[in-house]
Every structure is written in C-alpha cells, then in structure tokens.
Amino acid sequence: MKYTVGKPKIKTAFTYVIFICAYGVLLIMANMWEGMRIVGILTILIAIFIVFPGISYCELMWRVDQNVLQYTYHDNMLMKICSFYKHIFHTHQLDYQMTLNLSQIDYIDINYAKVPRFPYGAIGYDVWFNVHTYDGSIYSFIALTLSGRKDFNKAVNYLKEQGIHFQDHYHILDALQQKERLSDHLDKIEKEQSK
C-alpha cells in the first residue's frame, strides 16, 4: 500500500498541450507567409518538449509506503523538465530527493509558513512537516501548498496507522480533515496570538 501527494498531472498537461498544438497547426494552415509556418512549428515543439513536462510535474511530490517516506521538491520549471526527462529516459521511475525510513521517525511536528501567492501577491499558507528522527536529526519540508488536500489527508492517515506520532499545535490536520479553509483557520489563530 502506498499513498502519493502530488502525482504527475499527465491528463491536465495533455489537455493544455492539445490546445497549444491546435493553435500551432492553425498558424501553419493559415499559410500566409513562411515565417508564420516556422512560428507554428516552433509552438508545437515547445508545447510538446517544454510545456508538457513542465506542467505535468508538481512543485512538490511525496510518497509514503510501509517502509519509507520519500520527498522531492522542484524549485522551478527547469527542474521539473529535467526530472521528467530523467524519469522517461534514465531512471524509468520517479526520482525522490529524500528517502526517510519510517522506523527511524520519532515524531512529525506540523507547522506552517506564510507565503505570497502568484499572481497578485495575496498571502497564502504552506504546511510544513518537521520530521524528528530518533538520532536527533531534523528534516523539514513543505508537505502541502495549494492543491492535493485529499491525497494529503490519506497519506497522513496512513502515516498515523503506521504508528507515526504527529505534534499538531495549530490543529492544522484537523482543519484539513474537516474541509475547513486552511487560510481562515490559520488567520484565526494568528489573530488570537496577536491579542
């Protein structure tokens, strides 16, 4: 049994690419002058080889099974594209940056970070996992950004079933399970703290 948060969105990426390719084909078919045909061909190539891998891979991807918790984070589009091609041509499997043995995890502390969201700079919240291991090492990573709440809840429940203890001082997991808006919940907590 394994649960993944941030699965590659192949179908969504494929839909976008179809539209972009259709636009490229239109440019070629319009056949007004040679330059336009070249732009059409370039548009199709960019859509297939750059846009498709860039959109299909998520910013963060983590996976949990009986033995390990694996995590990877793609800072930018270039990293997503590189990971995609590495997956297709080299490793033939998703490459995770970090692999933690569940047997070594003491507890996971849940925290959050305020971040500006694209494109208007409105404030949003990222959920952070601080994984404390028995030997005293600490691994912190972003576990949830905007989407994937359903998969996130499933993965967290599975971790709990595996005997991993969570320290959730801000009751973030409860808010996510109850389908409450995380930003409302954390805004409320921030207001109470500032009083």
Nearest to 85 by CA among 108, 52, 117, 107: 52
Check residue 82 for interaction with other proteins (CB under 8 A).
no
Residue type (1 letter), 187: D
Binds other proteins by CB under 8 A, chosen from 35, 116, 121, 136: 136
Considering only residues 2 through 41, tell me which ones interact with other proteins, judged by CB under 8 A. Answer: none
Which residue number, 71 or 170, has a Cβ lying nearer to other proteins? 71
Binds other proteins by CB under 8 A, chosen from 42, 85, 134, 146: 134
Q: Using CB under 8 A as the criterion, what x/- string covers residues 42-61 for binding other proteins?
A: -----------------xx-
d(CA 130, CA 142): 9
Please choose, out of 10-18, 28-36, 136-144, 173-181, the segment that lies near other proteins by the rule CB under 8 A. Answer: 136-144
Strand partners, 105: 133
How many residues in the chain? 195
CB 74 within 8 A of CB 83: yes
CB 8 within 8 A of CB 151: no
d(CA 183, CA 189): 10
Q: Using CB under 8 A as the criterion, what x/- string covers residues 87-126 for binding other proteins?
A: --------x-xxxxx--x-x--------------------
Judged by the rule CB under 8 A, the positions of this chain that interact with other proteins are: 59-60, 68, 71, 73, 75, 95, 97-101, 104, 106, 133-142
